[in-house]
Amino acid sequence: MRFFIDTANLDQIREANDLGVLDGVTTNPSLMAKEGIKGEANIKQHYIDICNIVKGGDISAEVIATDYEGMIREGKELAALHKQIVVKVPCTKDGIKAIKHFTEIGIRTNCTLVFSVGQALLAAKAGATYVSPFIGRLDDISTDGVELVRQIVDVYRYYDYGTQVLAASIRHTMHIIQCMEAGADVATCPLSAILGLLKHPLTDIGLAKFLEDYKKVNG
Ligand code: G3P
């Protein structure tokens, strides 16, 4: 399973990238706003900065337009910024049409705001590179988000669709483990959830003991 970080914060992106296990970054308009990135030129430069930090990684950049023509115009501009850009498009009627068009002209896409297998089916048929089921937001309404990931993985495998399942709206470390068990191709996670994978008290206790024993002999 590949790891993306779900943030527009450059310090966090650098920290995750320095671990050496980062495969990409997902952003959305809310995450960009959280970092105070505003204005078309600044937003575009921010995407380029992210691409330059995570060399070779896939970087999702979301369209703001909700109509087909606007999505196509914005998506082409975003894709032209850098070869690592993946155009993120919401799972709406116009969005699916736009994904189909982007697929035909060789622009990679991430179909976002997916909450059902039916939406995932349309994304795959349109040729989306990634489909993003939002698991935390489903959990928020007492629906099993990880189960949706499992269902999408199953049907994609059954029908041999090429679209990769990118588990999104991950809120904590356990979500990452559950998505891996469900067969997700990618998990996009907050930095805290990624770092949580490292934590185990027996690792800390074991390391302290190793150092203690070393010092007993070596001073
Ligand atoms: O990847 C989608 C993500 O940014 C949404 O997460 O926590 O706002 O549901 P959240």
pLDDT tens-place string over residues 37-61: 999 999 999 999 999 999 999 999 9
Distance CA 29, CA 39 (A): 12
State if pTM tops 0.85: yes
Pocket around ligand 1 at a 6 A CB cut-off: 6, 26, 28, 31, 134, 136-137, 168-169, 171, 188
Please indicate whether residue 38 is annotated as part of the active site: no
Question: How far apart, in whole angstroms, are the C-alpha atoms of residue 215 and residue 212?
Answer: 5
Tell me the per-residue pLDDT of 100-144, one tens digit each, with 9 for 90 and over.
999 999 999 999 999 999 999 999 999 999 999 999 999 999 999
Q: Which residues contact 78 (CB under 8 A, 6 or more apart)?
A: 44, 47, 61, 63, 85, 87
